[in-house]
Structure 1
Amino acid sequence: MARTSRTPSAYEIITARIIEAIEQGAGPFVMPWHGDGSSRPVNAVSGKAYSGGNAVGLWAEQMLRGYGSPHWATYRQWAARGAQVRKGQRGAPIIFYKPNERAEDDERRSGFVMRSSIVFNLEQVEGGYPDVTTVPAAETLDEVDLFVRLTKARIEHGGTRAYFDPGSDYIAIPDKARFVGSPTSTATECYYSTLLHELVHWTGAEHRLNRTFGERFGDAAYAAEELVAELGAAFLCADLGVTNDPRPDHAAYVASWLKILRSDSRAIFTAASLSTAAVTYLHEKQLPF
């Protein structure tokens, strides 16, 4: 009997597209989440930014397809806005969870069940759609500086390397004068994107989020933590309007990241979930209580 082929899961489809995007950008160290700092992928109807693995997956789609717009919505959502997805357009999958309840022996059993949906980019749509909701304009770097200071992280300037020292619980970063600009960002933006990367590492300390990877990532745990910091910095840069510049020092991790993603289709969602938790933790530090 011939073996029937199995339909790939939404996790596998999204991960495959992220891998493809990473491979296309690996030469100059450009990852799918390196952009102009304008926005995370955002739902065009609700105005809510996508998070976790969905954000990374849609960044990858934007990179692979050359879309300039970060706005996405389902076919029905576009139709409800009076817009029409053009014929022949291929959408991108996203994953979400819905409460799941079923009766069993007169008891209610609750939990969550994974569901997937297909979304289309603004550039795949035509017709009389109204202006879509946009994210706030980029904030000034002075406000980014305030964001960092309100976390109360200990930051030591000097030297030639940026890193988080878990033993002494501080972030080391070179002076701003040591940072140079690139074709896509200023020297100041390079400084802040690096600082935000290290700030995500800072959140993983035992007395904060106690981020551990256990046996799932094994010898790749260090590379997995770097991936968490990369994604977390990308989310923060998008939130704060800072250009997230490629980091050449991460060329050493690209092979490890690809190995992780190829061996575990849910790994990117795990890393993105941990990144989202780190970003949420840092945003909560901004609250006055």
Structure 2
Amino acid sequence: MKKTNSQSRKSQQGTRPSNKAASKTSLYQQITDKLLAQMEKGVIPWKRPWKILDNGMAEVPTNYVTKKSYRGINLMLLSCNAYSRPYYMTYRQAQSQGGQVKKGEKGHLVVFYKTLTQQQESGKDKILFWERPSVVFNIDQIEGIDFRQPDLLIGQPDQTLLNERCEAVYQNFPAPPRLVNQQLDRAFYQRSTDVVNMPPVQAFTTPAMYYSVLFHELTHATGHTNRLNRDDLGAGAMGSQSYSREELTAELGAAFLGAVCGINQQDQAIQIQTASYLKGYMRALKDDVTLFYKASQQAQKAVDHILNRSYETVPQPEENDVAESV
């Protein structure tokens, strides 16, 4: 039987989740299911073995066409995939570059925002946004394009330069919390005094561990009323949903900042510390399917505040006329 043109196109596009399937399972549930599947294997989605580029930055999931790195929940979702290089495209982007998704390949879930500007009675515009699922494909799933990728770092990163980049994070933090070394055996953020206490770097097994802990506490500090005024900061007892969400926000914020600086997330000390909290996060995720999504959104806002840049709600690489619905 001869295939119709529409059938031929469908067979060439690879497998994508259907609209019917997406309607049966909420977007948050899809996100949670994917992340829990990794965590149940002992894999920490936000502590992935990112390679280091020759410019010293971590090679995080990036849209090949726009050259923009994925952010927030999309960074986490795509970091779960085991490809040789983390570059992605939508189906339409692949076509626009003269390529084609290989037959039978499955797309990977990402989320982008649609916006609507609504004028209020006061005359001021209010921007409303909502999430939409989309799919992207890794360049290993695409044929017909001569992909050119950034060079990777040969050898080990320069520790001095790495330390300088990490120190610059705190130095560039607008109106940062005060950094003290009053208690040498524990790191914490105290909201009432707006102080981050850090043991000296010599107290940590590696510099990477020191800066990861510092970034964790700095992320907490962004929740202060004079900054992002995050409701979860100090709102709940240990084990509560608000406590879990705030701790996960700080964990993700530390990982995002580490990627900016080029910290090796596979540092053994970092992995051991995070693994101790893994079961607690898994329980919290099973109780609230929105937890990881909300925490990743809060973490991205925190990182943007620390780095003194505007939080972007819209410009995900999939949206600009190349988005494809799940």
Provide TM-score, normalisation by structure 2.
Answer: 0.70
Percent identity of paired positions between Structure 1 and Structure 2: 32
Q: How does 1:1-289 map to 2 (within 5 A)?
A: 7-25=24-42, 30-37=43-50, 38-60=58-80, 62=81, 66-100=82-116, 111-132=128-149, 140-151=162-173, 152-157=176-181, 159-180=184-205, 187-213=206-232, 219-244=240-265, 245=267, 246-284=270-308
Distance in 1 (CA, whole Å) between partners of 2:203 and 2:221 is 22
Tell me, yes or no, if the aligned pair for 2:44 and 2:275 is still in contact at 8 Å.
no
Distance 1:116 1:198 in 2: 32
Question: C-alpha distance in 1, partners of 2:203/2:239?
Answer: 35
AA aligned opposite 2:304? T
Amino acid at match of 1:16: D
C-alpha deviation, 1:220, in angstroms = 2.5
Letter in 2 for 1:146: A
1:207 shift after superposition:
2.3
Contact 1:261/1:267 (CA < 8 Å) preserved in 2? yes
Q: Secondary structure at the match of 1:207?
A: coil
Whether the 8 Å CA contact 2:189–2:197 is kept in 1: the answer is yes
Secondary structure in structure 1 of the residue aligned to 2:70:
coil
Question: C-alpha separation between the residues in 2 aligned to 1:53 and 1:168?
Answer: 31
**Structure 1: segments with no counterpart, 5+ residues:** 103-108, 181-186
Shift of 1:73: 1.4
Against the structure 1 CA distance between its residues 134 and 9, is the aligned structure 2 distance closer, same or farther, given a 3 Å change threshold?
A: farther
Mapped partners of 1:101, 1:208: distance in 2: 25
Alpha-carbon distance in 1 for matches of 2:130, 2:210? 41
- Against the structure 1 CA distance between its residues 135 and 235, is the aligned structure 2 distance closer, same or farther, given a 3 Å change threshold? farther
**TM-aligned CA deviation for residue 250 of structure 1:** 3.8
Q: How many residues align?
A: 262
Contact map agreement 1:41 1:50 (CA 8 A) in 2: yes
Alpha-carbon spacing, 1:211–1:134, altered in 2? closer, same or farther (3 Å): farther
Q: 1:245-280 CA deviation, whole Å, 9 max, x = no partner?
A: 434344453233222322332221111111011011
Q: CA RMSD in A?
A: 3.2
Runs of 5+ in structure 2 lacking a partner? Answer: 1-19, 51-57, 119-125, 311-326
Name the CA distance, whole Å, in 1 between partners of 2:285 and 2:151. 32
1:41 positional shift? 1.7
State the Cα distance separating 1:233 from its structure 2 match: 0.9
Deviation above 6 Å: which 4+ runs of structure 1? 133-139
Q: Is the 8 A contact 1:84 1:126 kept in 2?
A: yes
What letter matches 1:48 in structure 2? K
